[in-house]
């Protein structure tokens, strides 16, 4: 079975995100659980590095951007995101799910995934949810559940 970092991250998120607002601090326990589930130790280590990077990028992303600004992807960012994923990212920002700060965190975390793979819309949805659930931005639980519905819905969301 060939898994990569995103598979490990999706497993961690789906297994632990509902237990608390943040992942448990017991990395040894999570590591043991992941090994038992059959994940490669190297991919587990990369997933923990990715999560550490998520915490770091949240601290570092303090540059304020206008809500009216337009983000143009750098060529290497554009090459990493599938066309449909880029469109979905734009949709989430325009609909208010992602602030410019959160958008930058999502792009940063996409770029931190396996460099040789293109991130499709399904993988992007998982990255968005991980960023949203781990963000310290003021969001209540009902808003996060609404975002989860939007991100994982098979149809377009309606905003009032």
Average pLDDT of the chain to the nearest whole number: 79
Distance, in Å, from the CA atom of 130 to the CA atom of 9, rounded to the nearest integer, reads 9
Asked if pLDDT for residue 6 goes beyond 50, the answer is: yes
State the pLDDT at residue 124.
92
Distance, in Å, from the CA atom of 55 to the CA atom of 39, rounded to the nearest integer, reads 23
Cβ atoms within 10 A of the Cβ of 62, count?
7
81 phi and psi angles, rounded to 5 deg? -100, 125
Say what the pTM is.
0.79
CB 124 within 8 Å of CB 6: no
**Tokens 């554009």 -> residue:** 78
Asked if pLDDT for residue 76 goes beyond 90, the answer is: yes
Confidence of residue 19 (pLDDT cuts 50, 70, 90): low
State the pLDDT at residue 158.
44
∠ CA 79-80-81, rounded to 5° = 95
Percentage of the chain with pLDDT > 90? 28
Quick: pLDDT tens for 52-66: 898 887 666 556 666
Separate counts of helices (H) and strands (E) for the chain: 8, 0
Parse the chain into domains and list their residue ranges: 5-152
Higher-confidence position of 123 and 159: 123
Q: Which tokens go with 18?
A: 């509902």
44 closest CA partner among 55, 29, 57, 59:
29
């Amino acid at each position: 079975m060939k898994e990569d970092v995103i598979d490990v991250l999706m497993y961690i998120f789906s297994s632990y995100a509902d237990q608390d607002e943040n992942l448990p601090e017991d990395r040894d326990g999570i590591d043991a659980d992941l090994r038992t589930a059959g994940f490669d130790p190297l991919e587990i280590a990369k997933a923990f590095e990715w999560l550490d990077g998520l915490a770091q990028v949240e601290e570092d992303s303090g540059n304020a951007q206008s809500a009216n600004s337009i983000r143009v992807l750098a060529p290497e960012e554009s090459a990493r995101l599938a066309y449909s994923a880029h469109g979905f990212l734009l949709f989430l920002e325009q609909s208010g799910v992602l602030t410019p700060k959160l958008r930058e965190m999502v792009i940063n975390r996409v770029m931190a995934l396996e460099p040789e793979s293109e991130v499709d819309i399904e993988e992007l949805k998982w990255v968005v949810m991980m960023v949203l659930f781990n963000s310290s931005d003021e969001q209540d639980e009902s808003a996060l559940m609404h975002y989860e519905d939007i991100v994982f819905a098979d149809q377009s969301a309606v905003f009032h």
